[in-house]
């Protein structure tokens, strides 16, 4: 970290240098405002200590210049006791702190130390925010629409209820994370409960927490997830699997915006964005008596539907390339992409497991990939054979010879015209294959 000292008194510059040198920071010390601005521009210090009384342009003007360039860096002003009026003006202009001469060097050092700690902490938080930043990939209309909603609700100060519905693996959780981590709550808690993963009898204590002695195992007071999420986001995944009795209790919290820990008397205020997700049809669950209708309507203030991947095939190429670049980093590889032919097969595949299946597929291929480009021969058999079973429906009504010719041609293409491999795939000898190639005049 860097500290800039602007003071025309040589003795002050020197003693600051000595005191702050112990903090392990890089120090720049100059005697005039002009030099100070020049160094500020070049070095972008984290903290600037500026004397108000400078020859040439004064400290207040230097502060104004600095604030024009950087709204966040720390600025500490130094004045004489007789100039406190100027210190007040400096604080109004955005200085963070001021000291009056003669000041206690130890106090100045402690103050700088505190500011350095604060800078480090906020850098960590913003790095964390960056790390958690969630990218939703896709150019289809449905993804664009989802991104727009996520951005809007994520940046809205007002807490609301969002219900994300869609098949497994379509990205419901990633959308919940995008709403939280790409929005204004990014530095607040993001608390998730997967209702399907927690036995129904434990869901209540997980959500509400308990007071000491509330039941025999409650040896100590414990905060629940509702309480932990305060100020941020509560993500209730697989809400369709929430215990029906608990659904009534949750509804009360969402309506009254307050709750009690189990065994508690005190009411605690609840304030968070609530995002619920499910791959079940909640309307069907309501019909079957497994889900409360009133909770459904309470949660469904902002409905989001995720579309199955097979209904937005235009996203497949982007997703594959995105996952390739991710696995290039984690596996330390430099795969360039996927060939047109291989991509076409992927685009025609059904992807019942949606993006999760696609991501796992890219991971598997990338682990074994040695060439720069993922080609048809690198694709797993289930994806290739799906293509041929689909094709075989197209053959219905064709004569047998044309079907055979087409099969041989496709398999040759897939195997890059390698005769031995194609014969093996088709379950015939190389001699038979050669004869058939000749018979049907098959060529590249």
Ligand X SMILES: Nc1ncnc2c1ncn2[C@@H]1O[C@H](COP(=O)(O)OP(=O)(O)OP(=O)(O)O)[C@@H](O)[C@H]1O
Shortest-Cβ-distance residue relative to ligand X: 171
Which DSSP string corresponds to 245-263?
A: HHHHHHHHHHHHSEE--BT
CB of 225 to ligand X, least distance (A): 17
CB of 381 to ligand X, least distance (A): 23
**Cα–Cα distance, 240 to 185 (Å, whole number):** 26
**Cα–Cα distance, 380 to 443 (Å, whole number):** 26
CB of 107 to ligand X, least distance (A): 50
CB 16 within 8 Å of CB 49:
yes
Nearer to ligand X, 318 or 442 (CB): 318
Residue in the structure block whose two tokens are 């203030």: 301
Kindly report the number of other CB atoms within 10 A of residue 150's CB atom: 26
Nearer to ligand X, 172 or 186 (CB): 172
Q: What percent of the residues of the chain are helix, what percent strand, and what percent coil, each to the nearest 5?
A: 55, 15, 30
Nearer to ligand X, 273 or 279 (CB): 279
Cα dihedral 289/290/295/296 (nearest 10): -90
Nearer to ligand X, 259 or 323 (CB): 323
CB of 168 to ligand X, least distance (A): 4
CB 293 within 8 Å of CB 286:
yes
**Cα–Cα distance, 253 to 226 (Å, whole number):** 9
Nearer to ligand X, 208 or 323 (CB): 323
CB 172 within 8 Å of CB 275:
no
Nearer to ligand X, 356 or 424 (CB): 356
CB of 166 to ligand X, least distance (A): 6
Interface residue list for ligand X (CB under 6 A): 136-138, 143, 166, 168-174, 279, 355-356, 359
CB of 360 to ligand X, least distance (A): 9
């Amino acid at each position: 970290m860097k500290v800039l000292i602007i003071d025309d008194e040589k003795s002050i510059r020197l003693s600051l240098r000595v005191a702050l040198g112990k903090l392990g920071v890089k120090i720049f010390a100059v005697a005039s405002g002009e030099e100070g601005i020049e160094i500020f521009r070049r070095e972008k210090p984290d903290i600037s200590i500026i004397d108000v009384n400078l020859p040439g342009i004064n400290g207040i003007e230097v502060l104004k210049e600095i604030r024009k360039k950087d709204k966040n860096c720390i600025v500490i002003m130094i004045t004489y006791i007789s100039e406190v009026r100027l210190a007040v003006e400096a604080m109004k202009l955005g200085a963070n702190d001021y000291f009056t001469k003669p000041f206690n060097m130890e106090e100045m050092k402690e103050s700088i130390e505190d500011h350095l700690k604060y800078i480090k902490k906020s850098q960590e938080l913003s790095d964390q925010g960056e790390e958690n930043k969630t990218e939703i990939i896709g150019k289809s209309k449905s993804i664009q629409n989802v991104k727009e909603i996520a951005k809007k609700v994520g940046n809205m100060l007002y807490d609301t209820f969002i219900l994300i519905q869609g098949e497994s693996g379509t990205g419901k959780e990633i959308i919940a994370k995008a709403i939280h981590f790409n929005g204004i709550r990014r530095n607040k808690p993001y608390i998730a409960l997967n209702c399907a993963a927690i036995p129904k009898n434990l869901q209540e204590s997980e959500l509400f927490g308990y007071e000491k002695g509330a039941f025999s195992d409650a040896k100590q007071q414990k905060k629940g997830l509702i309480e932990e999420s305060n100020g941020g986001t509560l993500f209730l995944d697989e809400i369709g699997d929430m215990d029906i009795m608990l659904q009534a209790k949750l509804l009360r919290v969402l309506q009254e915006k307050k709750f009690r820990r189990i065994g508690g008397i005190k009411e605690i205020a609840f304030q968070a964005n609530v995002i619920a997700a499910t791959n079940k049809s909640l309307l069907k669950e309501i019909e079957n008596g497994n889900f409360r209708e009133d909770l459904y309507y309470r949660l469904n203030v902002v409905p989001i539907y995720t579309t199955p991947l097979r209904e937005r095939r235009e996203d497949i190429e982007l997703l594959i390339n995105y996952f390739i670049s991710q696995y290039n980093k984690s596996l330390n590889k430099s795969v360039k992409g996927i060939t047109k032919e291989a991509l076409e097969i992927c685009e025609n595949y059904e992807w019942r497991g949606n993006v999760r299946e696609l991501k796992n597929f890219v991971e598997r291929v990338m682990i074994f990939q040695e060439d720069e480009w993922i080609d048809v021969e690198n694709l797993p058999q289930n994806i290739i054979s799906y293509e041929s079973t689909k094709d075989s429906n197209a053959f219905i009504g064709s004569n047998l010879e044309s079907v055979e010719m087409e099969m041989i041609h496709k398999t040759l293409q897939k195997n890059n015209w390698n005769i031995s491999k194609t014969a093996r795939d088709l379950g015939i000898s190389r001699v038979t294959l050669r004869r058939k190639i000749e018979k049907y005049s098959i060529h590249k």
